[in-house]
Amino acid sequence: MRTIALRLMYVGTAYHGWQVQKNAVTVAETLEHSLASVVGHPVKCTGAGRTDAGVHAETYIANFRTSSRIPCDRIPLAVNTRLPDDIVVVKATAVPGSCLKKEYTYRIYNSHIRNAFYVNRAWFYPKHLDETVMQRAASHFVGTHDFAAVRSVGTETRTTVRTVHYFNISRSGELIECRVCADGFLYNMVRAMVGTCVYAADGKFSPDDVPAILEGRNRTAAGPTVPAGGLYMTKLWYQEDVL
């Protein structure tokens, strides 16, 4: 049996997240069915992390075990002919080491008039946001903290302490990008962090209140969980850079 790692990208609008569910169409289930038809046996895919319903991935890593001898360089083309257009396998190779850190990017379309091409691709927010204020708030998230204040109730976890390596806010015209990298993320953590930065820019509280919000560990003290359609998994780091 070989273990194969796949690098893929997907638009999550039509799916209820990555992980297989009993009564909902997911990315993992769709990929597993397509892989099974290529390798000739049932397949179980293990992903680099969960993405929620409607969340996208510009880069995602999943691995599976197979007895098939099909060469790795032929797997992407073979699988892609069986996948819907919104999921694409980019590369297949021997499985890399464990994931060291991940980057998510959240996109906000900040304009008085919405843009049809950003529907389900960025969060339309019509009130002007000052990205410099958002950055002041974002900077307080960097470091090792207890992130319970920006975690939604969901998957159980042993600890709510994580290390955020960077949280950078930038603007290009009407598009604001919130790019955050950490060793791991709690359920809805990125979307709640972005919501907190938006609340700071909107004057709901000072950006310098973020440390006290984190220390208080109270979810209701932070900003809202922003919509899923603006969130993308954009980068992953492994012990071996093979994908």
Kindly state the tokens that stand for 134.
């958002």
Which residues touch 240 (CB under 8 Å, ≥6 apart)?
A: 96, 97
Of 52, 86, 183, 208, the catalytic one is 52
Q: Where are the beta strands (DSSP E) in 95-242?
A: 99-109, 123-124, 143-146, 161-172, 175-182, 231-238
Tell me how far apart the alpha carbons of residues 242 and 148 are, in angstroms, rounded to a whole number.
Answer: 34
H/E stretch holding 132: helix 131-139
**189-201 helix and 131-139 helix, angle to the nearest 10 degrees:** 130
What does DSSP say about strands 46-47 and 175-182: parallel, antiparallel, or unpaired? Answer: unpaired
217/207 Cα distance (integer angstroms): 17
86 part of the active site: no
Name which of 159, 178, 156, 157 is nearest 167 in CA terms: 178
26 phi/psi in degrees, rounded to 5: -125, 165
Evaluate whether 47 touches 60 at the Cβ level (below 8 Å). Answer: yes
Annotated catalytic sites, by residue? Answer: 52
